[in-house]
Amino acid sequence: NAGVTQTPKFRILKIGQSMTLQCTQDMNHNYMYWYRQDPGMGLKLIYYSVGAGITDKGEVPNGYNVSRSTTEDFPLRLELAAPSQTSVYFCASSRGQGTYGYTFGSGTRLTVV
């Protein structure tokens, strides 16, 4: 019962570097989400996907890209890291909307220096 698996758990990037945050779920959930959480600010939605091949922007998409080639995987790409992207990133999935609950990954702590 893996649920939602995020890698890596921690990462330090230099300004301008690129990286991909991986997210995989094994529950056959259609909906997947990427959130960032800044201290005291709460979660903010970056991108979400309602199924393979479909992605859409959330509240704070600038500086990020996503893809959803399979139901299981929803990677988040940072192309040119900036200090403002220092945050904790969470991937989540759900079977659908409405009464379905979320399953969250354990988070990735990213620091951009």
Partner 1 sequence: SQELEQSPQSLIVQEGKNLTINCTSSKTLYGLYWYKQKYGEGLIFLMMLQKGGEEKSHEKITAKLDEKKQQSSLHITASQPSHAGIYLCGADISGNQFYFGTGTSLTVIP
Q: Could you say which of 91, 92, 110, 112 contacts partner 1 (CB under 8 A)? A: 92
DSSP assignment string, 61-101: -TTEEE--SSSSB--EEESS--GGG-EEEEEEEESSSSSPP
Helix locations, the chain, DSSP H: none
Q: Cα separation of 37 and 15, whole Å?
A: 20
Binding of partner 1 at residue 19 (CB under 8 A)? no
Q: Cα separation of 9 and 45, whole Å?
A: 19
**Binding segment toward partner 1, per CB under 8 A, in 13-21, 63-71, 79-87, 95-103:** 95-103
CA distances to 4, 74, 111, 113 from 87, rounded to whole Å, are: 19, 18, 7, 12
Instruction: Please count the residues of this chain forming the interface with partner 1, following the rule CB under 8 A.
Output: 23
Binding of partner 1 at residue 37 (CB under 8 A)? yes
One character per residue 43-72, x = contact with partner 1 (rule: CB under 8 A) = x-x--x---------xx-------------
Binding of partner 1 at residue 111 (CB under 8 A)? no
Residues that bind partner 1 (CB under 8 A): 33, 35, 37, 40-43, 45, 48, 58-59, 88, 90, 92, 97-99, 101-104, 106-107
